[in-house]
Amino acid sequence: TIRLVADDGSYIRIGGGVEIGTQGKAIVHAGEHDWVGPKTDRATVPSFGRDPAAQSLAFHYPGHDDDSARVAVDHAYQIKLEDGSTVQGQTDSRGLVERVEREMMHQAQTMVLRGKGPKGGSQ
């Protein structure tokens, strides 16, 4: 079931049929209609903190679990974001990359680089 609820309580519920409710004007297109009085719905609006979107990526060597991972310290990396921007750097002493923060969330492509610098460079 999918339920869309507007600030004024107007709603559309899809699943097992389609149900629409509003205190205002409604325009309906359907093969069959059941006309009943006005109705509204409510939904709890989730609040999102900033922390889940502000996580840092950690590099570690394969074959290790999270509890005993050997971190990849001082390795070159590159992060390409879907807005076209690129972030490059070296992992820190905990194998973490620089935190990338933008006004909106983006999908990112992360690459570990080899050959340049102490432990990294070209792919």
Q: Which of 13, 30, 46 is the last residue of a domain?
A: 46
85 and 102 belong to one structural domain: yes
Choose the final residue of a domain: 14, 31, 46.
46
Per residue of the chain (123 residues), what is the pLDDT tens digit?
A: 899 999 899 999 998 888 999 999 988 788 988 888 888 888 887 776 655 555 678 888 876 566 666 888 999 999 998 889 999 999 999 889 988 887 777 788 988 888 655 555 444
> Any idea which residue has 């097992």 for tokens?
16
Query: 2 with 30, same domain?
Result: yes
Pairing, β 86-90 against β 108-112: unpaired
Same domain, yes or no, for 39 and 64? no
Residue 17 and residue 54 in one domain: no
Q: Give the model's pLDDT for residue 64.
A: 55
Looking at residue 65, its pLDDT comes to 63
42 and 61 together in one domain:
no
Angle CA 110–82–118, to nearest 5? 25
Query: What's the domain range around 10?
Result: 1-46
Indicate whether 53 and 79 sit together in one domain.
yes
Tokens representing residue 117 in the block: 């610098």
Q: Is 5 exposed, middle or buried (0-12, 13-18, 19+ CB in 10 A)?
A: middle
pLDDT at res. 86? 93
Q: Give the pTM.
A: 0.48
pLDDT attached to residue 116: 55
Same domain, 104 and 54: yes
Domain count for the chain: 2
In terms of domains, do 37 and 53 share one? no
